[in-house]
A and B are shown apart, each in its own frame.
Chain A
Amino acid sequence: MAGSSLRDTLFQRTLEDLIKGLRMSFIGETAFISKAMDEIRREIKSTDPYIKAVALQKLSYLSSLHFYGMSFAAFHVVELLSSTRFSHKRIAYHCASHSFNDTTPVLVLITNQLRKDLSSTNEYEVSLALECLSRIATVDLARDLTPEIYTLLSSSKVLVRKKAIGVILRVFEKYPDAARVCFKRLVENLHVSDTQILSAAVGVFCELTSKDPRSYLPLAPEFYKILVDCKNNWVLIKVLKIFAKLAPLEPRLAKRVVEPICDHMRRTGAKSLVFECVRTVVTSFGDYDSAVRLAIAKVREFLVDDDPNLMYLALQALSVAAPKHLWAVLENKEVVIKSLSDLDPNIKLESLRLIMAMVSEGKVTEISRVLLNYALKSDPEFCNEILGSILSTCCRNVYEVIIDFDWYVMTLGEMSRIPHCRKGDEIERQLIDIGMRVKDVRPEVVRVGRDLLIDPSLLGNPFLHRILSAAAWVSGEYVEFSRNPLELMEALIQPRTNLLPSSIRAVYIQSAFKTLIFCLNSYFSQSEIISSTSCLDSLVTPASQFVPGRDFQEGSDLATNNASAQNEQEEGFNPRVLNRSSDDISGDDGEEIGGAFCGQTSRLASLEMNVLTDESVTNVLNKIELAIGPLLGSHDVEILERARNLLSFIELIRKDIANFSSQMEETLPRDETEAFKIIKMMQDAFSDELGPVSVTAQERVPIPDGLALKDNLEDLETILPDVQLPSSISFSLGSALQDETAGVPFPTVQNKEDSEPSNESTFLLAEHRKRHGLYYLPSEKNDVSNDYPPANDLKSQGNAEDLVKLTEQALVPKKKPNHAKPRPVVVKLDEGDVVPIAAKRQPKDDLLSDAVREVLLPSDTKASSSHNKPLDSSSIKNKGKEKVNVDTPESKEDLSIDKQDNRNQSLRKSKHQSHGKDRKHRSSRNAGDEREERGQEGKKKSSHRHSKNKGRQRTDVPQSVIPQTQVIPDFLL
């Protein structure tokens, strides 16, 4: 046996061999490692600690760098832990802290070994154990070893004490009650002059404070002292972090510390400290103007520095400051905008955030235009970042910043056409939302929707499908604003829609249905007018022969008819909608688009009337049947059902229409036919307006008279106690805006002369029709993009300087007399726009803060601990003991606390008896003095104490501010 052991020892591969072998392994790394792992598995079982140690060493190497699991070795780690050799112990502890976790079963075996090592006389062994404990401590370990840690917290060896402080964080996290024992000692470590210990202690408090600042407010004087006296930048940074958390809780504290912070900012040469000061000031001292100005001045120094790190941090600091101090961003806007074209995507992102922070009502148009142009030449990722931030900024608070909705809707349309756009979902949501909320902008929404629908090339881009769905929906819903419903219909049933996913295709069909109803309705109504004025048909027939070469009959009708006899006829109609929109447009007549737009409007409007001839109606019906018919075989229920609806409807009215067009003169007037009645009915149904629905809408529906809802329900409850009936199910959705539903008449025509050549998109559609069902050549895509914003030429020059120049104008707050258009009404629901976030901040039952508070504020111990455990005499005794122990030598203390700890986990120190002793103990330290004075005061003045008692009760609810605010001034000021 001895021989084999010797052989193993001699021939075992060391870690170094392993690493060398790995570096020059000829059989491939994986094969080599799996061979090595086999060796390790064998060696690790050896009884020889040397072999076992080397095996574990190799295993931990492979585990941490090559991702091999080492949980199988857990027990061997425990074995090696008890070795007396330091080097073996070290390896074992290293393995333990790397591989153990809360669920490792062997953890229960190491408690005693850890306790032994923690009480070792060799400080390095102690430090190994502490180090390991800080990584693997479980609830049990933390509870069982608290007494040892308590002792070590005042060890005379700096190395040990430092690590004991370091381990506290883990112990508190796992076993909050340890705070009742250890917290005072931890606080004492804040008073030492040794920087090592101080730095460790401050580090721990920094972490503790960040989790629950309020509990540590009473320690403000200690931290203040460190802030003023300490010369170590590491410590100062931590203390600043603590104050960043504490200051917002206590204004008087903020007032007191703001000056020292500014001193540090002025004096120090360390950038890290300066930056920490800056960040502290902008996050927590925003009300102190001079401090903020100083901080922003420092930020500016960072911004102009060549170091990209400083640039990035400065931008971050600015975005923290932005909500409260927008001036800080505006002052530095050149740099901010310039950094939009930085090499570093992270810096670009920060810059973008800041630019969006600068957006306000007046500037949103310009900034968005600049950014959109920038997005066009950015990489896809950043492009979408830009789009995303424009979208989210603009829709903030129900489109607060938007005045010109026409512009915004147009911008949404432009965004959709940006090749990298991946924001379909959001654009879809906003298009529909705006359509519902802003009545005045509907014509524009429909126009944008039409432009999107009509372009067959867009259907091929899956990222746009959601947008197309929105476009289809608004076009169907607000079809009365459409300038050419038949053209819309064509777009909705074009063959390429088979590229759409079925849910969106269903929307298309439904919109087609709405559009059809609308067309038929106006067709029938129009005929009345025709018969009263003059005959339209006579006009149409020669017109359609005018351009005989075209398949696109409606299109040619549209194009040719315009100038003729329409105008007189139309004047009679008083076109409500279109007149207004044309008025709006003529406002900015000077602009080219405006002009073009006007022309288009009037032309299309006039066309629409002409289109609705008997032939065209039959034609449309045929086309629908042709396009929708195949869908009857669809497997998707949504599509199937809607297609069936549409076709059945056509069947229903078809006969009447056929009759009607063949023998128009003789039969009864149109409005008395069966078909007309049906259509009228459908039209009424569809013209019922959809509004944004408040999430609380149901609650606000008034209960109609004579409807005894409650009584009924109560009865029901007695009958069917298990069934929950929704109370007002019949009032769901739909007519949130009843007042607006007054059936919008079919759009009427407009009296502007039109001489524009055929519109491009219409032409496109005609082309498409020619090649019916074929895919398109890329050249047409280019044509489409001609619709792009006029500012496109920026793209070619585009570098940072231009951007700055452009935004220069954009960002200067100027009055814009040209856009005198008033902001349209945006339907806002009083409270229902946002899902109400339950504003309750559950006072989380944080055991640690309870414990800490108990120690720090002895006066409210009773109240806050009373819910843990009923008071009994033994615990009081214990408490007395503990208090005495604080002053006694360590060994004795250990025992008593151990005992007390095990017996009474939530030990409670109460009241003035112990308080007095505590004071005696503390009074040797001057920093604690003031707190004790407070205690004295409380003792002396019974009235004062009474009020404190009140405060005590209130601290039961951890949120209450009052008790602490009473406490602080005594400490600090």
Chain B
Amino acid sequence: MGIRFILMVNKQGQTRLAQYYEYLTIEERRALEGEIVRKCLARTEQQCSFVEHRNYKIVYRRYASLFFLVGVDNDENELAILEFIHLLVETMDRHFGNVCELDIMFHLEKAHFMLEEMVMNGCIVETSKSNILAPIQLMDKAS
């Protein structure tokens, strides 16, 4: 599976984006997000960005007020996932211009669209920013 889910959570612990690559019921999601937020947001900057949770790992990174949390299988490369998070942020930066929490809130669909270009079935399939953004730009032009 590789990546199991991608979450964006703000400092207050509110979910701003949730993308799951395996089906979970609403209740399971709520429980999972609660646990993860409690575990990860309590950690300090000096601590490492990896947390073991249940039978998988969470790789997370904080950008300003937003936490990016990625749940991955145990044999996934943590550093690569960190790079992936960074790539995601850079891509959104390029599209929104200095992305912030509000951009993601009001353009949740676009954020999902970018993710869909980057990850499929839990595998990272695209890592080039211009390739990721091409369809979105096209759609923006069309509408």
Contacts and interface: CB of A to CB of B under 8 A. Distances in A.
A309 B26 contact: no
Interface in B125-143: 125-128, 131, 135, 138-139, 142-143
Given A65-B16, A311-B48, A275 B135 contact: no
B99 interface: no
Given A163-B120, A272-B82, 8 more contacts: A124-B139, A163-B125, A167-B121, A203-B123, A237-B77, A308-B48, A312-B48, A312-B50
Interface in A68-113: 68-69, 86-87, 90-91, 94, 101-102
A127 B52 CA distance: 34
Contacts of B17: 64-65
B23 A102 contact: yes
A962 B13 CA distance: 55
Interface in B78-132: 78-80, 82-83, 105-106, 108-109, 112-113, 116, 120-128, 131
B120 A200 contact: yes
A196 B135 contact: no
Given A131-B116, A169-B121, A203-B125, A346 B48 contact: yes
A361 B44 CA distance: 38
Nearest to A66: B15
Contacts of A308: 46-49
Contacts of A234: 80, 124, 127
Interface core residue of B77, B116, B121, B128 (most chain A CB under 10 Å):
B121
A199 B119 CA distance: 11
B50 A200 contact: no
Contact of B135 (A102, A159, A210): A159
B80 A313 contact: no
9 contacts: A19-B106, A65-B15, A163-B120, A167-B121, A169-B123, A200-B126, A207-B121, A210-B75, A272-B77
A57 B124 CA distance: 26
A276 interface: yes
Contacts of B78: 275, 309, 313
A63 B26 contact: yes
Contacts of B79: 271-272, 275, 309, 313
Residue among B30, B105, B123, B128 with max Cβ neighbours from chain A (10 Å): B123
A309 B82 contact: yes
Interface of A: 16, 19, 57, 61, 63-65, 67-69, 86-87, 90-91, 94, 101-102, 124, 127, 131, 134-135, 159, 162-163, 165-167, 169-170, 196, 199-200, 203-204, 206-207, 210, 232-234, 237, 241, 271-272, 275-276, 279, 308-309, 311-313, 343-347
Nearest to B14: A65
Nearest to A63: B26
Given A65-B16, A311-B48, A199 B125 contact: yes
Contact of A69 (B26, B44, B51): B26
Contacts of A163: 120, 125
A89 to B, nearest CB: 12
Shortest beta-carbon contacts, A-B, top 6: A166-B120, A272-B79, A203-B123, A344-B47, A308-B48, A312-B48
Given A207-B123, A272-B83, A346 B18 contact: no
Interface string B28-60: 011000000000000110111111100000000
A872 to B, nearest CB: 36
A127 B125 CA distance: 13
Interface of B: 1-2, 14-18, 21, 23, 26-27, 29-30, 43-44, 46-52, 75, 77-80, 82-83, 105-106, 108-109, 112-113, 116, 120-128, 131, 135, 138-139, 142-143
A819 B47 CA distance: 42
B18 A65 contact: yes
A104 B133 CA distance: 32
B116 to A, nearest CB: 5
Nearest to A87: B143
B120 A134 contact: yes
Contact of A196 (B105, B122, B131): B131
Contact of B50 (A94, A166, A309): A309
B125 to A, nearest CB: 4
A272 B108 CA distance: 30
A101 B23 CA distance: 7
A279 to B, nearest CB: 8
Contacts of B112: 94
B64 to A, nearest CB: 18
A196 B46 contact: no
A275 B2 CA distance: 17
Contact of B29 (A67, A102, A313): A67
A61 B106 CA distance: 10
B94 to A, nearest CB: 18
Nearest to A271: B79
Contacts of A64: 15, 17-18, 108
Contacts of A57: 109
Given A65-B16, A200-B125, A131 B80 contact: no
Given A19-B106, A234-B80, A199 B120 contact: no
A196 B126 contact: yes
Nearest to B87: A234
Nearest to A309: B48
Nearest to B84: A234
A234 B119 CA distance: 13
